[in-house]
């Protein structure tokens, strides 16, 4: 009931709420919220709100058992009524496996190229955080499309020379260009790049862990654009 009441207060003009994690309690909360008529987006893999218990920002699903758990959590969230899933910081094969195992859209962030869509953290994409400590914890999968912070410094240095409207417009143009570049690269499958050649081998390992039909399901989904390679 707390989950439902909190969502009722928060939802406002939003289209959905997001819940991290796919364990039994999270799935139950997702079902209660969807039963109340509020759309829910699930989140599996790395769950940033739980990094203390995960030991930090570490990739998830890196072995077969852990990968199966991510897939099972995704299926549980779909069964609970989630309209979409965020899949974060897992091997590309796990991102492909989750996408094949559910019938709702998957949005990947560091989950390889075979999810339904892609997302990056706004600040990472635009280069808005330049502190050395922040650089140390920025995930390797992040790609920077602009250096907005540097442009901001340039803007402020010329604040008295040009009108504020013109200077802020320049910053807006940089942001707009970066976002358009990101969209184009995702649409053209340039970001996040092709999947490692070990995908088929990894999926076969997953099939040995209770997902025996998964490789065939993935192969039957040409929309995943998986690049298969035969084992030598």
Torsion of CA 154, 156, 160, 163, to 10 degrees: 80
Instruction: Determine whether 88 is an active site residue.
Output: yes
Cα dist. 58→39, 53, 74, 89, 135 in Å?
29, 11, 19, 8, 15
Per the CB < 8 A criterion, the answer to whether 195 and 203 are in contact is no
Asked if residue 221 has pLDDT above 50, the reply is no
Name the active-site residue from 20, 88, 184, 231.
88
88: containing domain:
2-112+195-224
H or E stretch at 107: strand 106-109
Do 44 and 137 belong to one domain?
A: no
> 229 in a domain, yes or no?
no
Compute the distance between CA of residue 125 and CA of residue 200 in angstroms, rounded to an integer: 31
pLDDT of residue 185: 93
Do 176 and 71 belong to one domain?
A: no
CATH number for the domain spanning 73: value is 3.20.20.60
Total count of residues recorded for the chain? 232
pTM of the model: 0.77
What's the total number of domains in the chain? 2
> 230 in a domain, yes or no?
no
Do 70 and 96 belong to one domain?
A: yes
Do 148 and 73 belong to one domain?
A: no
> 190 in a domain, yes or no?
no
Compute the distance between CA of residue 160 and CA of residue 111 in angstroms, rounded to an integer: 45
Torsion of CA 124, 93, 51, 139, to 10 degrees: -30
pLDDT single digits (tens) 9-58? 565 678 899 999 999 999 999 999 999 999 999 999 999 888 767 767 78
What is the CB-side half-sphere exposure of residue 119 using CA atoms within 13 A? 13
Do 31 and 137 belong to one domain?
A: no
> 60 in a domain, yes or no?
yes
pLDDT single digits (tens) 65-97? 899 899 999 999 999 999 999 999 998 889 999
Do 98 and 20 belong to one domain?
A: yes
Structure tokens at 146: 């602009």
Mean pLDDT score of the chain: 78
Q: Which residue has the higher pLDDT, 126 or 154?
A: 126
Do 107 and 11 belong to one domain?
A: yes
Do 31 and 91 belong to one domain?
A: yes
Do 134 and 107 belong to one domain?
A: no
Do 133 and 177 belong to one domain?
A: yes
Do 158 and 127 belong to one domain?
A: yes
Match 């862990």 to its residue by tokens.
Answer: 209
């Amino acid at each position: 009931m707390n989950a439902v009441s909190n969502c009722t207060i928060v939802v406002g003009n939003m289209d959905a709420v997001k819940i991290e994690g796919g364990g039994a309690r999270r799935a139950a909360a997702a079902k209660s919220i969807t039963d109340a008529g509020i759309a829910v987006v699930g989140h599996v893999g790395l769950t940033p709100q739980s990094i203390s218990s995960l030991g930090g920002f570490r990739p998830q699903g890196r072995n077969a058992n852990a990968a199966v758990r991510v897939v099972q959590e995704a299926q549980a969230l779909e069964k609970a009524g989630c309209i979409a899933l965020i899949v974060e910081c897992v091997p590309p094969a796990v991102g492909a496996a989750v996408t094949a195992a559910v019938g709702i859209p998957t949005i990947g962030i560091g989950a390889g190229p075979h999810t339904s869509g892609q997302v990056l953290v706004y600040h990472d994409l635009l280069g808005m955080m330049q502190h050395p400590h922040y650089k140390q914890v920025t995930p390797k999968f992040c790609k920077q499309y602009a250096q907005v912070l540097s442009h901001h410094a340039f803007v402020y240095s010329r604040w008295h020379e040009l009108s504020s409207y013109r200077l802020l417009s320049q910053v807006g143009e940089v942001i707009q260009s970066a976002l358009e570049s990101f969209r184009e690269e995702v649409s053209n499958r340039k970001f996040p790049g092709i999947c490692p050649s070990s995908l088929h081998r990894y999926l076969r390992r997953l099939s040995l862990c209770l997902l025996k039909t998964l490789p065939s399901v993935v192969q039957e989904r040409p929309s995943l654009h998986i690049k298969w390679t035969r084992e030598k």
